Amino acid sequence: MKGDSTVRAPWILHPILWIIIAVLLYPVMWVVALAFSGQQSLGLADLPANPTFLDRLRMVMPWPQSWSFANFVGVWTEQPFGRWLWNSIVVAGLTTVVGVAVACTAGYAFSRFRFAGRNAGMTLFLVTQMFPGTLMLIPLYAIVVDWLHLDNSVWGLVVVYSVTAVPFCVWMLKGYFDTIPTEIEESAIMDGCSPGRVFFEIVLPLAKPAVAVTALFSFMTAWNEFILAATFMEDDTRYTAPVGLRFFVSEFTAQWGYFAAGSLMVSIPVVILFLALQKFLVGGLTAGGVKG
Amino acid sequence: MAQGGSGSGASIEFAGVHKRYDAVDVIRNLSLEIRDGEFMVFVGPSGCGKSTALRMIAGLESISQGQLSIAGRVVNDLPPKERDVAMVFQSYALYPHMTVRENVAFGLKVRKMPAAEIETRVAEASRMLGLEPYLDRKPKALSGGQRQRVALGRALVRQPAVFLFDEPLSNLDAKLRTGMRAEIGKLQKRLGTTSVYVTHDQTEAMTMGDRIAVLAPLAEAGESNLMQCGTPLELYDRPQNVFVARFIGAPSMVVFEAGRDGSALSHPAFKAPAVIPARWTPPAGDRVLVGARPEHVRPLLGGSARAQAQGLVVRGEVEIVETLGHEVLVHMDIGGGTILIGKSFTHATLPAPGDVVEAEVDLERLHLFDPATQQRLAEGV
């Protein structure tokens, strides 16, 4: 209907949405342009002596003067970037496996069983999320380095990242398990399933969306982390990619082109993982199981 | 489909069974035997413990006290998979991520049955239940009735010693419910498997059960949840207490208190004192609870009918008139109670609210209860 606010609303919203998208994408586009520029300075264009408005506009446009893969090649040849990337994949992969395994079983237990300390445990998980990560640095260092002697080891980081990711994952999975009707599990018990079989064959397949999100969260917790990795890893062959990237921009050098190319390459595994897990991020998996 | 594998002689016996949650009793002193091959219905209002009792047979609820036996074997501490029982849930409880075929076959797969045997049983059950066209569909692509059939099929293929049904039809619409009710009844008769069926719907209970166990919430029941167990007609014709009298039968039996002097009953609404038939043993006090089913209350229309009345004549004001089509129910206020007249009226004789009418209650069909114990008075033959 003409004049209907529900029809007019999108036209009003569109410019606002485009502005928000531009603001969000601008830094990413700048990184892409820098990576493909083949140069190391932050500026993508040179400003002439008497710049016109167009010259100034060109200065802020994320578009390189020429396109080149030189920065990508440089990243791989000048530093052991492949090694760092592999370290990141190992650390993040193991963190995901450990984090998801612990969070799934813990989340299920918190959802289904009633035991002493259940509510206190869930509250404690929440409380741990209220402290800034850097506050944990000293106690974690004491535990991982002094007690466990896992400094400079992939496992040290895996332990730290897993325990960091687990509280959020447990909360999320517990919430999802709560939505799976218990009758479905009872039905499996009547069919002769052991508790383990109920969990692996009935509950987990129904919780795929939550497990996928949990996996993604655990992976990204480990993948993007810098401070703990920089603290625990001393040997430069043990660095993870975020720690290694800092070598391109240090006190004495500022290879922004390499940094941007490295950053782009670091983001690729996360994008691949997201695309792989995307098919599980669907709702309604329990539809039809019980009367809705 | 052949009868249960290990299901021969699968009687079920509750012996003084109690169920407590923390300190709260839900089931108290339940003693009941369900015979081999019998279709037993547990019926009662919400909170009477009927589903809890069923879940105790299934092994999904522990037993706080007493003994539960299946086929002569005490199963108090046996896990569900060792009890040889299959259950159909109220909410279907299908596995949403599996196809109909996988749902039906799952219990057999868990029991490591050979694939060929699984296929045969699934084919047989799906043919019996008309599920063949849907075998490769997921539950979400089925209607409520089809889903409940899958749930039935899943229980059926197991060929268990006992079938347990937890209000399996309550989520279906009225028409489908009637159809499924008949199907389940026929299947049970055909397989001869001991079945326990929980419902709050007394029509289901009356039409399906070989015997019915009426359960009541402990607040009303007292010492045991079990109020009476018997065939549908036993419960209808000879309810052992006021609870069963009021619960069984639609519309319900009207129970009201009357005075007693020897064998004469008196009440302000009675036109004249009525003499209790000789077979009844009078209660100790001077009060008695009188129960009458609507079909045993006849309207006295016209002077000649009133003159010929032989039974107990009551007089009262019409409160509501409910027209059901095949019959008309007239609610008549008799002071301290409402009596229902269930006989057919013609258009011309239909009373209106506010009219004062007379009705004759068949004295031979009266039910008398002790006001103190709420139990049926003793009767001679």
- Convert the pLDDT of each residue in A31-53 to its tens digit: 999 999 988 888 777 777 888 88
pLDDT digits (tens, 9 = 90+) for B104-163: 999 999 999 999 999 999 999 999 888 999 999 999 999 988 999 999 999 999 999 999
- B21 touching chain A per CB within 8 A: no
Interface predicted TM-score (ipTM): 0.84
Q: Both B88 and B129 in a single domain? A: yes
| Residues A205, B97: C-beta atoms closer than 8 Å | yes
* Boundary of a domain, candidates B226, B245, B264: B245
Query: Does one domain contain both B84 and B112?
Result: yes
pTM: 0.83
- B129 to chain A, closest Cα gap in Å: 19
Q: What's the confidence (pLDDT) of residue B3? A: 42
What average pLDDT does this structure show over A83-89? 94
Return the pLDDT at A106.
Answer: 96
β-partners of residue B86 are B163
If asked whether residues B124 and B18 sit together in one domain, one would say yes
- B6 within domain boundaries: no
Q: State residue B336's pLDDT score.
A: 67
**Could you tell me the CATH number of the domain that includes residue B295?**
2.40.50.140
Residues within 8 A of B (CB atoms), A 182-201 only: 183-184, 186-193, 197
Report yes or no on B121 lying in a domain: yes
**B24/B161 same-domain check:** yes
Q: B interface mutation test: which of A185, A211, A285, A291 has the most B CBs within 10 A?
A: A291
Partner-chain contact B96 A193, CB within 8 Å: no
Cα A185-A186-A190 angle, rounded to 5 deg: 120
Local confidence band at B16 (pLDDT 50, 70, 90 cut-offs): very high
Q: How many CB atoms lie within 10 A of CB A222?
A: 29
- pLDDT (0 to 100) of residue A280: 81
Q: DSSP for A66-95? A: S--SHHHHHHHHHS-HHHHHHHHHHHHHHH
Is B378 part of any domain?
no
| B169 inside domain | yes
- The confidence band for B37, taking pLDDT boundaries of 50, 70 and 90, is very high
Strand ranges inside B200-261, DSSP E: 211-215, 226-230, 254-261
Query: Are both B36 and B139 inside the same structural domain?
Result: yes
Whether residue B79 sits in one domain with residue B217: yes
Residues in Cβ contact with B314 at an 8 Å cutoff, skipping those fewer than 6 apart = B267, B269, B270, B271, B297, B332, B334, B339, B358, B359, B360, B361
B172 domain residue, yes or no: yes
Same domain, B328 and B283: yes
If we measure between CA atoms, which residue out of B261, B293, B275, B289 comes closest to residue B369?
B289
Nearest residue of B to residue A208, measured between CA atoms: B97
B188/B278 same-domain check: no
Q: Which residues of A touch B111 (CB under 8 A)?
A: 192
Chain A residues within 8 A of B90 when measuring between CB atoms: 183, 291
Instruction: Determine, yes or no, domain membership for B199.
Output: yes
- B236 with B338, same domain: the answer is no
Q: pLDDT for B81-91, tens place per residue?
A: 999 999 999 88
> For A73-82, what is each residue's pLDDT tens digit?
998 888 899 9
Is A207 touching B (CB cutoff 8 A)?
A: no
Going across the sheet that includes B287-292, the strands are: B274-275, B264-266, B254-261, B287-292, B367-369
Strand ranges, E, within B75-113? 85-88
Specify the higher pLDDT residue, B379 or A25. A25
Query: Closest approach of chain A CAs to the CA of B31, in angstroms?
Result: 24
Q: Do B89 and B40 belong together in one domain?
A: yes
State whether residue B86 sits within 8 Å of chain A by CB.
yes
Model confidence at A4, pLDDT cuts 50, 70, 90, reads: low
State which amino acid sits at residue A92: A
Report all structural domains of chain A as residue ranges with CATH numbers, in order of start.
5-68 (no CATH), 80-278 (1.10.3720.10)
**Residue contacts between A and B (CB atoms, under 8 Å):** 84
pLDDT band at B5 (very low <50, low <70, confident <90, very high): very low
| A121 in contact with B, Cβ within 8 Å | no
Out of A184, A193, A284, closest to residue B93 by CB: A184
* Residue B6 pLDDT level (bands cut at 50, 70, 90): very low
Cα-Cα-Cα-Cα dihedral of A3, A7, A12, A17, to 10°?
Answer: 180
Same domain, B238 and B263: no
Each residue of B215-259: pLDDT tens digit? 999 988 888 999 999 999 999 999 999 999 999 988 889 899 999
CB contact (8 A) between residue A289 and residue B96: yes
Please indicate if any CB of chain B lies within 8 Å of the CB of A289: yes
Of A219, A239, A179, the closest CA to residue A95 belongs to A219
Mean pLDDT of chain A: 88
* Last residue in a domain, options B194, B229, B245: B245
Condensed to tens digits (0 to 9), the pLDDT of residues B149-166 reads 999 999 999 999 999 999
Mode of pairing for the β-strands spanning B85-88 and B73-74: unpaired
Among residues B195, B212, B245, the one where a domain terminates is B245
Interface test with B, best of A185, A187, A194 (most B CBs within 10 A): A187
- In chain B, the percentage of residues whose pLDDT exceeds 90 is 53
Domain that holds residue B215: 12-245
Q: Is the Cβ–Cβ distance between B109 and B118 less than 8 Å?
A: yes
Count of domains observed in chain B: 2
Q: For position B368, what pLDDT does the model report?
A: 93
Within 8 A by CB and 6+ apart from B222, the residues are: none
- Residue B111's pLDDT is 93
> What CATH number did the domain enclosing B112 receive?
3.40.50.300
Residue-wise pLDDT for B279-304, tens only, equals 888 777 889 999 999 888 888 877 66
- Whole-number pLDDT of residue B176: 81
Co-location of B113 and B173 in the same domain: yes
Residues near B207 by beta carbon (within 8 Å), at least 6 away in sequence: B181, B185, B232
Q: Do B91 and A291 touch (CB under 8 A)?
A: yes
